[in-house]
Amino acid sequence: QRAAGLSTRSIKTSSKAWALDTIIRTCDLTTLEGADTPGKVRSLVAKAITPDASDPTTPSVAAVCVYGDMVPYAVEALGNRHAAGGTEGIQVAAVATAFPSGRASLAIKLADTRDAVAAGADEIDMVIDRGAFLSGQYGVVFDQIVAVREACIRPDGSHAHLKVILETGELQTYDNVKRASWLAILAGADFIKTSTGKVSPAATLPVTLLMLEVIRDWHRLTGEKIGMKPAGGIRASKDAVRYLVTVAETVGEEWLTPQLWRFGASSLVNDVLLQRQKMRTGHYSGPDYVTVD
């Protein structure tokens, strides 16, 4: 009910401009297809840096999200725009741990993670073992997250940020989503993430609200701020704005930064660009205005 109530909130025109830019700034521009190529990743990076070449006021996105073997191409294409070592710029996120199924041995999951970090990934998006979780083997899931977090540590002692994907569409109940959120945070997640985008339903507002409430409660207990990433199925600007309102009302506006909030999306950015263009010129451009993902 609370999620439904938050979704009906409206915002002023001045706030809408801010909201649209915030969506772009906090977006992980994503390609996770079997047919991905170095060329496709380079095109994705170009769009991440300059989402709208006709409007220099358009902000860059937070990160590009790719498969681990595509990380070197993303790092190369970003060049001095790569936010390596915590510098200002665009992060490279890599999915790992046998994404999206998570069906592999721990050794393979850790090798997958180490390879991506060694290639230059700033962030690792791992998947939990939903089979183990649904079987009540919570200790197994916890230990795997701890091990993957350790695999994110670089030789210099710094570490890639860890986003833990719950795959909420497979967890069956809200109680399970809440339990998995707590488990991931206790195991060391920097972010908790709804979905791989490969399972339906993916991100939903009620599930996101529930996960944000866990993040809020953790912050009240410890003072630590954990990030949140809804991913999959968010395609329209108006829907993304509802997520921003939910964040502000649940954990506070200080979460609306790339350090604590991300949208996992690809087509969402296209709709935001169309809405920005409408606000700027008073009309929508033709279908060729934005690139096709």
Q: Say which residues have a Cβ less than 8 Å from residue 100's Cβ, sequence separation at least 6.
A: 32, 127, 167, 196, 197, 198, 199
**Phi and psi for 137 in degrees, rounded to 5?**
-90, 65
99-157 pLDDT, tens digit each: 999 999 999 999 999 999 999 999 999 999 999 999 999 999 999 999 999 999 999 99
Catalytic site residue 193?
yes
Q: Which amino acid is at 252?
A: G
**What is the rounded distance in angstroms from the CA atom of residue 145 to the CA atom of residue 284?**
45
Catalytic member of 47, 109, 163, 229 = 229
29-74 pLDDT, tens digit each: 999 999 999 999 999 999 999 999 999 999 999 999 999 999 999 9
List the beta strands (DSSP E) in 90-212: 91-95, 123-127, 161-165, 191-193
- Choices 3.20.20.70, 3.40.50.1860, 3.20.20.220, 3.40.50.261: CATH for 2-280: 3.20.20.70
Catalytic site residue 238?
no
For residue 225, what are its two tokens?
């701020």
Residue the block writes with tokens 């170009």? 46
Can you state the angle between helices 237-250 and 267-281, rounded to 10 degrees?
Answer: 100
Determine if the pTM surpasses 0.85: yes
Catalytic member of 125, 129, 190, 271 = 125
Going by the DSSP 8-state scheme, the letter that residue 57 receives in this structure is T
